[in-house]
Amino acid sequence: MQAHKVIVNDRMQQEYTYWRTEPVGKNFVAAFDPELTPREMLEMGVFGGKYMTDCQKEFPKAWFAKAKLSPEGYNPKLNYFGVKASKPLSYWRERDWIYADDPRGWFQWYCRYYMGRRCPDDERQIKRWAAMVRHVAQLKKACPAGDLTCRRRQRQALLHWAYDSRTL
């Protein structure tokens, strides 16, 4: 694959440049096997629809054709499980959990990784993703199989990290 240069100009980044060096959706490190693509996540409803409302030019139009978005502000009713299950970006910034190149956080990193970008923060982000598996174990232990009303907040949180709790 020939590397592709991307220049980002949105509300959070101006003239940010990166390279896509891998094919879209391919060549992930073995330890990283998300169950959902960014497109699937956006269509299901994540982050109260607020995420990605001003940076759509960076990603394929198809990701946004059926995405549940709310440019006006966070709306938990747009989340797949209809509940709020995330902390505000300020919370993540206060703890220095935001990588400077991805000021929107993990999901922005995942979208760019999915599109073929590789960066110095990949290992840390993949470890953060892998740590969410503890919530899968908790759901399996606490909820009857197929009961999507059980622990909706925890299920939505898993969805924010590309885990599909509908299959549990």
CA distance 154 to 158: 6
Closest-CA residue to 148 (of 128, 131, 133, 164)? 164
Q: Which two tokens stand for residue 20?
A: 């896509």
pLDDT in tens, 118-129: 999 999 999 999
Span 34-51, pLDDT tens digits? 999 999 999 999 999 998
In this prediction, residue 142 carries a pLDDT of 97
pTM of the model: 0.95
Half-sphere exposure of 54 (CA within 13 A, CB side): 11
Strands (E), 35-145: none
Cα–Cα distance for residue pair 4/129, rounded to 1 Å:
26
Residue 90, H or E segment? helix 89-94
Above pLDDT 90, what percent of the chain? 85
pLDDT score, position 95: 87
Task: Give pLDDT tens digits for 71-98.
Answer: 899 999 999 999 999 888 888 889 888 9
Write down the pLDDT at residue 61: 96
**Mean predicted confidence (pLDDT) in 1-18:** 95
DSSP 3-state of 132: coil
Rounded to whole angstroms, the Cα distance separating 5 from 117 reads: 10
Please name which of 100, 125, 102 lies closest in space to residue 34, comparing C-alpha atoms. 125
